[in-house]
């Protein structure tokens, strides 16, 4: 500010001083200008700035481009803005009604797709914003949409199934955010049933499921996707034997059927290529020593 060291602080922060800018105005001008220059440059600084902004967007569960967000209605982002200089500069720019836009070609790279109902919108609707930064996200299967927690759009995963799909430890109690989501989702869904043929329609989970273990000693429970089927559906099966050929690996399995919530296995076996099989995400019944469906899946099922 080019002022003497003995200039009173009251004079510096006085709004009525002529020819002198407020320190906060100077600070905002500098960081917003620096952010704009970095974003429009072709340098390592531009890449690191974009990484910081993407990191803030993902941690805040924002699925739309972060430059389009209205931060006035997101008071929970303040702790995150204090840790991220680039994000803090963008928040200040938005608070000063300074809009930033990205090239339409690049918009898709800043958007998170994969569902219909963002979990951020869900948290805001039910006043659960305190859980936004409490989700221990998995790099293998991060959660940004409520749809990701459902199979076939109706059947809600259990905590262990979600953790298995996300390659996270399944021990311990379900997280509080998951219990809240489960309670709210099941309270607004009717007729949670399981089809007798045990076919689960694909819901963007197939790519995240793990491949079968070719040399496993124990029998594996698998999801099978028929390559020539009319509909893209999964069938539950249990591996009998895995055959190794020159052409590849084939799997002989027994299809499953619903036995009052517990999965039973047919006597007749089928053979299919290993690339059509994935390890299933189901809960094991310790009492019956078998596999079972979650109670939410079978609450409305009647065998007949």
pLDDT tens for each residue of 243-270: 888 888 999 999 888 776 677 888 888 9
Q: Please check whether residue 211 is in contact with residue 278, taking contact to mean a CB–CB distance below 8 angstroms.
A: yes
- Shared domain for 18 and 105, answered yes or no, is yes
pTM of the model: 0.73
- Domain termination site, one of 148, 165, 187: 187
At residue 304, the pLDDT reads 34
Rounded to the nearest 5°, which phi and psi values hold at 192?
-75, 100
Domain match, 27 and 86 both: yes
Task: Note whether residue 272 is domain-resident.
Answer: yes
Query: 3-class DSSP state for residue 106?
Result: helix
192 or 272, which is more confident: 272
At 2, is the pLDDT very low, low, confident or very high (cuts 50, 70, 90)?
A: low
Residue 300 pLDDT level (bands cut at 50, 70, 90): very low
- Which is nearest to 61 in space by CA: 148, 164, 137? 137
Whether residues 212 and 158 share a domain: the answer is no
Pair 159, 247 in one domain: no
* pLDDT average, residue stretch 38-45: 90
Say what the pLDDT of residue 47 is. Answer: 92
CA dihedral 85, 90, 94, 95 (to 10 degrees): 10
| Of 5-14, 38-47, 84-93, 271-280, minimum mean pLDDT range | 5-14
Which pLDDT band, with edges at 50, 70 and 90, does 191 fall under? very low
Looking only at the bridges linking them, the beta strands covering 233-244 and 249-259 are: antiparallel
Average pLDDT of the chain is: 79
Reported confidence tier of residue 192, pLDDT bands at 50, 70, 90: very low
- DSSP E strand stretches across 78-228: 150-151, 155-156, 199-201, 221-225
Asked, for residue 62, whether it belongs to a domain, the answer is yes
In a domain, 3, yes or no: no
Last residue in a domain, options 135, 155, 187? 187
Residue 17 reports pLDDT greater than 80: no
pLDDT computed for residue 21 by the predictor: 66
* Least confident span in 137-146, 215-224, 238-247, 272-281: 215-224
Expressed as residue numbers, the domain containing 51 is 9-110
Helix axes 23-39, 44-59, angle to 10 degrees: 110
């Amino acid at each position: 500010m080019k002022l003497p060291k003995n200039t009173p602080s009251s004079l510096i922060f006085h709004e009525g001083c002529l020819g002198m800018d407020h320190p906060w105005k100077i600070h905002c001008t500098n960081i917003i200008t620096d952010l704009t220059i970095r974003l429009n440059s072709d340098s390592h600084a531009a890449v690191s700035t974009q990484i910081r902004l993407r990191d803030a967007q993902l941690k805040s569960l924002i699925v739309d481009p972060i430059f389009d967000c209205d931060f006035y209605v997101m008071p929970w982002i303040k702790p995150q803005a204090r840790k991220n200089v680039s994000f803090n500069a963008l928040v200040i720019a938005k608070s000063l009604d300074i809009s930033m836009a990205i090239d339409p070609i690049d918009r898709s790279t800043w958007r998170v797709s994969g569902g219909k109902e963002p979990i951020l919108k869900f948290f805001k609707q039910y006043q659960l914003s305190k859980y936004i930064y409490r989700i221990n996200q998995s790099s293998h299967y991060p959660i940004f949409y409520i749809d990701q927690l459902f199979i076939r759009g109706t059947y809600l995963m259990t905590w262990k199934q979600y953790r298995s799909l996300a390659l996270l430890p399944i021990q311990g109690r379900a997280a509080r955010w998951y219990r809240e989501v489960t309670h709210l989702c099941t309270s607004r869904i009717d007729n949670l049933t399981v089809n007798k043929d045990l076919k689960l329609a694909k819901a963007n989970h197939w790519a995240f499921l793990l491949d079968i273990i070719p040399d496993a000693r124990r029998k594996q429970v698998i999801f099978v996707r028929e390559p020539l089927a009319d509909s893209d559906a999964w069938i539950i099966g249990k591996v009998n034997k895995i055959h190794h050929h020159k052409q590849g690996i084939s799997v002989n399995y027994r299809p499953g059927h619903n036995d009052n919530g517990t999965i039973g296995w047919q006597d007749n076996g089928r053979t299919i290529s290993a690339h059509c099989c994935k390890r299933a995400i189901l809960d094991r019944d310790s009492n019956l020593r078998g596999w079972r469906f979650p109670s939410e899946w079978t609450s409305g099922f009647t065998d007949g």
